Amino acid sequence: MIDRPQPDEYPSYAAKYVDLVGNGPIIEILEYLQQMTYNFFLRIDPDKASYTYAAGKWTLKQVLGHMTDTERVFSYRALVFSREATELPGFDQDVYMEKATFNERSLEDLAEEFRTVREATLYLLKSLTEEQTKQKGIASGNPVSVRGLAYMIAGHEMHHIKILKEKYL
């Protein structure tokens, strides 16, 4: 079981993500979100996939791609920190987006990739001991625990789904 992280186990900017996550078991929350988010994107009209609500904002496809990229980064950090306390660099989401090809792919393909990445994240998190989930490292100059990262993954996803519902659909 992965307990809820304490506020000193994630960066202050991530509190907005962690606070979105309920008090249930994080593995079950991530499993539920995996299916919910996958189905959410499959129900979107493909004609809306390239929509942006304002100039300079990401398309719906880009938001989904960003969610997947971020989960990969957070999951990698969780893997590393579960094995050793070390420091990892940050990632600039805008630089990642400049080189991404999300708009050239179908929404269905992007949704399938998201679902598959989540499956890998779940396998990793389920394999960890309680002690490993409490281990910390430094990412983007901030201390963060493995369990902090698990909650950040869920909360980041919830944050973006909320934005999509409010501003895109």
Q: What is the mean pLDDT of each run of 10 residues along the chain (169 residues)?
A: 96 97 95 98 96 96 98 98 97 96 98 98 98 98 98 98 96
Domain assignment present for residue 47? The answer is yes
Any domain includes 142: yes
State the total domains in the chain. 1
Distance in angstroms (rounded) separating the CA atoms of residues 112 and 28: 20
Nearest alpha carbon to residue 79 among 149, 154, 5: 149
Indicate the pTM of the whole model. 0.97
* In-domain check, residue 2: no
Domain that holds residue 127: 7-168
pLDDT of 110 reads: 98
Q: Are strands 87-88 and 136-139 parallel, antiparallel or unpaired?
A: parallel
CATH code for the domain of 142 = 1.20.120.450
Residues 100 and 69: beta-carbon distance below 8 Å = yes
Q: What is the pLDDT of residue 1?
A: 86
Burial of 45 (0-12, 13-18, 19+ CB in 10 A): exposed
